[in-house]
Amino acid sequence: MYIGWDWATETHDVTVMDNTGARVARWEFAHTEEGIARTLDKLAKYGSPADLPVAIETTRGLVVDRLLAGGHPVVPVHPNAFHAMRPRWGASKAKTDAGDSLKLADYLRTDGHFLPRLEPTGQATMEIQALTRQRADHVAARVAAVNQLAALLDAHWPGGKAVFASLDSDIALAFLERYPTAASAAKLTAGRLEAWCKRRGYSGKRPGSVLIERLRSAPAPASRLSETVIEHLVRVQVQLVRSIRATIRTLDETIASAVETHPYAPLFATMPRIGKINLGQIIGEIGPILERSRTSEQFIAETGVVPVTRASGKSRVVTFRYAANRRARLAIVGYADNSRHGSDWAAKIYNDARADRKRHPHAARILARSWLRVIWACWRTGTCYDPEIHRASNKIKQDTDTPMAA
């Protein structure tokens, strides 16, 4: 039996198809607990969940989680790939929920052996993945909030922006909270500004004379807002940046605690220049790909650090791989870029790529590909990364034995 599941936010449509392509059953139900539970019970009448694969146009969400928890093999179908298959069932491009669930089931019946299946990820890995993804979202929100603050200062107080860009982040925010407008900083002198910064632990990289010169030499704004409104706008934006920074610190502590108890952490914790956050990103994003990959080449391809070759009788093009896990690629490429500052082996691979006229992003992906082979070897053999052994052998052995650290 093959199941086609056309999902939506309010209703779903399910079709059950047999090996001959005949529709055995079809029903529609609401996106409620009763509807989903009743559907899973209905599917159980057609056999064991492990023998009832489900084709659906998504890789995540409540429905996918419930299907995986129920023991059903889930076959995600990309909407673009499914759209390209529509002429198989007719040229009119007609579309209905019932028709789509039937087509998904038929697509699974005829081409399911070519399609990858989702595997349930361990709870510890899922928790780290959720934490690191939320941290990434908060980091993006912090960048946006800081950019908004800079734009606000640029429009209404360029001098404050010049000082803000010259100080450490915590001290810069404290400065804007104490001096949110040009009028509030009118009586500042070089000595007073330098003393104020020192009381807050400023490193002293730029003396007070430089800071006050940047403050005074900035162009005057043409703002028609009152000082009271500008003060309110700046202080509210500073509070927003500080609150986001506080949530990021909280997430950092939680991620570091979760990583310490994860079974994969000892395998990769000794890799050069890998911190707790980056280790959490690698476990959360690369761990699930590692678990479902059958070969190292599949593992590296799904992570997105190898190019795609498109060749025909007339042309051959090797291009950037867009169809990949973007978060996993960012995690491993970010680590690879850091590792070259702490490993001679990594630095040589990167420098050789640059000498071969590769741009920095390309060279970083080449190095990331080498590190993925290291990660694959450590995971398959259950061996923790040892810099001394790696330096001595200068190469990673590839094998396809049963993983010991799954």
pLDDT score of 44 more than 70: yes
pLDDT value for 402? 46
Alpha carbon distances (Å) from 73 to 56, 95, 289, 366: 11, 26, 16, 34
User: Domain 126-257 falls in which CATH fold?
Assistant: Helix Hairpins (1.10.287)
CB 34, CB 25: distance < 8 Å: no
Q: What is the pLDDT of residues 50-105, one digit of tens each?
A: 899 999 998 888 898 889 888 899 999 888 888 888 888 887 767 888 888 999 99
pLDDT class of 404 with cuts at 50, 70, 90: very low
Q: Of the candidates 343, 324, 322, 335, which has an alpha carbon nearest to the alpha carbon of residue 282?
A: 335
Could you tell me which residues come within 8 angstroms of residue 164 by beta carbon, excluding any fewer than 6 positions away?
149, 150, 153, 172, 175, 176
Other Cβ atoms within 10 Å of 195 Cβ, number: 11
DSSP string, 338-382: HHTTT-HHHHHHHHHHHHTT--HHHHHHHHHHHHHHHHHHHHHHT
Domain ranges of the chain: 2-114, 126-257, 265-393
Angle subtended by helix axes 158-166 and 123-156, to nearest 10:
140
Q: Of the candidates 273, 182, 277, 173, which has an alpha carbon nearest to the alpha carbon of residue 226?
A: 182
**pLDDT exceeding 70 applies to what percent of the chain?**
95
Q: What is the pLDDT of residues 244-264, one digit of tens each?
A: 999 999 999 999 999 999 999
Element housing 33 (H / E): helix 33-44
Alpha carbon distances (Å) from 264 to 156, 213, 376: 51, 52, 12
pLDDT score of 401 more than 80: no
pLDDT value for 394? 58
Neighbouring-strand partners of residue 319: 308
pLDDT class of 392 with cuts at 50, 70, 90: low
**Given phi > 0 = left and psi -120 to 50 = alpha, else beta, which region is 136?**
alpha
Q: What is the pLDDT of residues 170-195, one digit of tens each?
A: 999 999 999 999 999 988 899 998 89
Q: Global pTM?
A: 0.80
CA 278 to CA 263: how far, in whole Å? 16
pLDDT score of 332 more than 80: yes
- Tokens linked to 33: 């607990």
User: Domain 2-114 falls in which CATH fold?
Assistant: Nucleotidyltransferase; domain 5 (3.30.420)
